[in-house]
């Protein structure tokens, strides 16, 4: 019996073997990404609320004037990207947890991805269009 025929023994515990590579083979990356996007949205919430309050009662020209500021547009774009990514991850977790048929799971996951991208792109387009004054 050669050395290659013997089973590979590991000194690592089962938890140690799984820690960075879970059942989905992605470890805890989605968990941490969702926490990071949640913190980002929490930090951006106050500036976004201030911007929304500044937009209240204004017409399109007034809104375009406020949104034409680069910091304002940047804050709104960061909030849009963080919330779209957070939404995508959260819905994907729900789909993966509650849709048990692997073949049927692909369709809602794909629809979730397309919907999240569509929301992010439409929101980005709206912010950029208003901020450019076109």
* Domain CATH for 111: 1.20.1300.10
Q: Are 93 and 30 in contact (CB under 8 A)?
A: yes
For residue 79, the tally of other CB atoms under 10 A from its CB is: 20
Q: Is residue 69 part of a domain?
A: yes
Mean pLDDT score, 71-97: 95
Q: Cβ(34)–Cβ(89) under 8 Å?
A: yes
Q: Which two tokens stand for residue 103?
A: 């073949």
Let me know if residue 65 belongs to a domain: yes
pLDDT score at 46: 96
> Could you report the per-residue pLDDT of 108-129, keeping only the tens digit for each?
999 999 999 999 999 999 999 8
In a domain, 14, yes or no: no
pLDDT of residue 4 exceeding 60, the answer is no
Question: Is 113 part of any domain?
Answer: yes
Q: Domain limits at 56?
A: 29-132
Euclidean distance between CA atoms 52 and 62, whole angstroms:
12
Report pLDDT digits (tens) over 13-64.
776 666 655 555 555 788 899 999 999 999 999 999 999 999 999 998 888 8
Nearest alpha carbon to residue 44 among 87, 80, 68: 80
C-alpha 25/C-alpha 20 separation (Å) is 8
Decide if pLDDT at 78 tops 90: yes
Measured CA to CA, the distance from residue 30 to residue 96 in angstroms comes to 12
């Amino acid at each position: 019996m050669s050395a290659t025929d013997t089973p590979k023994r590991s000194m690592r515990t089962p938890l140690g073997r799984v820690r960075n590579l879970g059942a989905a083979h992605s470890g805890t990356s989605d968990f941490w990404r969702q926490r990071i996007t949640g913190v980002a949205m929490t930090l951006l919430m106050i500036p976004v609320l201030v911007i929304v309050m500044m937009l209240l009662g204004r017409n399109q020209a007034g809104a375009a004037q406020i949104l034409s500021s680069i910091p304002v547009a940047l804050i709104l774009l960061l909030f849009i990207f963080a919330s779209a990514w957070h939404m995508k991850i959260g819905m994907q977790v729900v789909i993966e947890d509650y849709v048990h048929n692997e073949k049927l799971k692909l369709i809602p996951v794909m629809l979730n991805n397309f919907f999240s991208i569509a929301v992010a792109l439409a929101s980005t387009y709206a912010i950029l269009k208003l901020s450019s004054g076109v």
